[in-house]
């Protein structure tokens, strides 16, 4: 489980003054990156030493409430299910001031071989840490 704080900058908003819908996907991408980092795995090192990359296979998202310029958000990330070659993440973005969930997503991430981009088993050291948390 990981929690990442994100500040909404002007560049994150649309002409209506709210966070542009695609930017929520950027926020949760950062959340998954930080999740791996907190587990001790840097993505560039996974490519270099283990020959794997993680790629989004599918996602289901719900936009519940808008975030606005200068809001402080928390991106909550946790693995709901681990499989041999994929992880299913549950992610939520919460407004810290109002303590309300603004966005929820379930994201399936596939482990791919960096040489051919075909599915590959998640390295055992990663699975052990994820399953042991």
Distance CA 24, CA 26 (A): 5
Reported as a single tens digit per residue, the pLDDT across 37-71 is 999 999 999 999 999 999 999 999 999 999 999 99
Asked if pLDDT for residue 133 goes beyond 70, the answer is no
Number of folded domains that form the chain? 1
SS3 content of the chain, % helix, strand, coil (to 5): 30, 45, 30
Confidence class of residue 132 from pLDDT cuts 50, 70 and 90? Answer: confident
Closest CA to 5 of 42, 30, 40, 23: 30
% of the chain beyond a pLDDT of 90:
93
Catalytic residues: 14
3-state secondary structure of 94: strand
User: What CATH number is attached to the domain comprising 119?
Assistant: 3.10.129.10
Distance CA 76, CA 53 (A): 22
Domain span at residue 81 reads 2-132
Query: Structure pTM?
Result: 0.93
């Amino acid at each position: 489980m990981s929690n990442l704080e994100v500040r909404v900058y002007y560049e994150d908003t649309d002409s209506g003054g709210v966070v542009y819908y695609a930017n929520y996907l950027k926020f949760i991408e950062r959340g998954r990156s930080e999740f791996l980092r907190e587990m001790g795995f840097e993505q560039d090192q996974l490519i270099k030493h283990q020959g794997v990359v993680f790629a989004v296979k599918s996602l289901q998202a719900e936009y519940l409430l808008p975030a606005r310029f200068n809001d402080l958000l928390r991106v909550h990330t946790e693995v709901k299910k681990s499989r041999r070659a994929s992880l299913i993440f549950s992610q939520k973005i919460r407004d810290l001031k109002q303590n309300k969930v603004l966005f929820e997503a379930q994201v399936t991430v596939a482990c791919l071989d960096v040489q051919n981009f075909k599915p590959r088993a998640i390295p055992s050291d990663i699975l052990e840490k994820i399953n042991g948390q």
